[in-house]
Chain A
Amino acid sequence: MPCLQPDISMSDARFQAYVNALDGNELNEHEIAEKVNEAIFRVRSALRELEKAAYIEQTVNGYVLTNKATAT
């Protein structure tokens, strides 16, 4: 089965973990790392990729989901 998000390299399960972590939440990278249980370097890499693909956007205090992410 093709990846549901062809514009990013992360797996569907990992993508969903990030969406779940940020669903209704504005979190910084350390809070996200705790929620998804990943090392900070992996979180930064994932956030950069998700932001580039417009699934999340950076705010003053952290990151939030975009409409594109909530529509998936």
Chain B
Amino acid sequence: MASTEETVTQSVPSLPRIGDAAPKFEASTTHGPISLDDYNGSWLVLFSHPADFTPVCTTEFVAFQGIYDRLKELNTELLGLSVDSLPSHIAWVRNIEEKQGVKIEFPVIADSSRKVAMHYGMIHPNESGTETNRAVFVIDDKQTIRAIIYYPLTTGRNMEEIVRLVEALQTTANHQVSTPANWKKGEKVVVPPPQSQQAAEERVNDSSLEVTDWYLSKKEL
């Protein structure tokens, strides 16, 4: 029997979280069509910015380009995104090169349909219903989300923190350790705490570690 009532359901994709598989996409970019799968085997820093030809975003793009070579040494690619059009992106990166002498070498997604932005939760309606905020997704080489950073429209991101975050995540992935506050590459790392009383007793007597107490020990890599 045909219903005379219509039910309208609004589909709101759930926000991706740390540990989730990164949402798949294929999108138009300043380097041609790119899909998430193209990055399989590499780490990826996927970041959004509010709008082309805006002051804070321009400083960020120059700064992202500044860390691009260091990220590539970490087997990590950069991919930008905003809801601006492809011609706008092309004009903006050309303008940055012309006015600031910096060639933007990483691709930028033109997400005019907001499809990718919505799947990644890059639009926060109470801040702006039309622009993407300053989101950063660190995606590992198996395409799992390893870290998420959100900054508001008004605050430019810290590039050193993004490099440090990638280095810390890769250190954890490669060595099964954690990294303490303000950790920098080359510094001591935190070893996993013991999981039994006997292991805790052994830990406090382990001379190969810098032991503060049974639950907090560090070591050189």
Interface residue ranges, A against B (CB under 8 Å): 9-10, 39-42, 44-46, 48-49
Chain B residues contacting A48 (CB-CB under 8 Å) are 33, 35, 38
Taking CB as reference atom, which chain B residue is nearest A41?
B38
Is A46 within 8 A of B32, CB to CB? yes
Is A45 within 8 A of B33, CB to CB? yes
* Cβ-defined partner of A45 (8 Å) among B38, B41, B72: B38
Is B33 within 8 A of A41, CB to CB? no
Interface residues on B, range: 10 to 19
Q: In this assembly, does B164 line the interface, its C-beta being within 8 Å of a C-beta of chain A?
A: no
**Cross-chain pairs A/B with CB under 8 angstroms, 6 sampled:** A9-B32, A39-B72, A40-B42, A44-B37, A45-B38, A48-B33
B 29-88 contacts with A by CB, 8 A: 31-35, 37-39, 41-42, 72, 77
Chain B residues contacting A42 (CB-CB under 8 Å) are 31, 38
Taking CB as reference atom, which chain A residue is nearest B31?
A42
Interface residue ranges, B against A (CB under 8 Å): 31-35, 37-39, 41-42, 72, 77
Chain A residues contacting B32 (CB-CB under 8 Å) are 9-10, 45-46, 49
Chain B residues contacting A49 (CB-CB under 8 Å) are 32-33
* Min CB gap A64→B, angstroms: 21
Cα–Cα, bound, A46→B31 (Å): 9
Cα–Cα, bound, A15→B20 (Å): 36
* Min CB gap B44→A, angstroms: 8
Chain B residues contacting A46 (CB-CB under 8 Å) are 32
Taking CB as reference atom, which chain A residue is nearest B32?
A9
Chain B residues contacting A9 (CB-CB under 8 Å) are 32-33
* Min CB gap B148→A, angstroms: 21
Chain A residues contacting B77 (CB-CB under 8 Å) are 39, 41
Q: A40-B38, A40-B41, A49-B33 are in contact. List 5 more A-B contacts (CB 8 A).
A: A10-B32, A39-B77, A41-B38, A45-B31, A46-B32
Is B38 within 8 A of A44, CB to CB? yes
* Min CB gap A15→B, angstroms: 11
* Min CB gap A65→B, angstroms: 19
Cα–Cα, bound, A48→B38 (Å): 10
* Min CB gap B142→A, angstroms: 15
Q: Name the residue among A9, A41, A45 with the largest chain B CB count within 10 angstroms.
A: A41
Chain A residues contacting B31 (CB-CB under 8 Å) are 42, 45
Cα–Cα, bound, A39→B77 (Å): 9
Chain A residues contacting B34 (CB-CB under 8 Å) are 41, 45
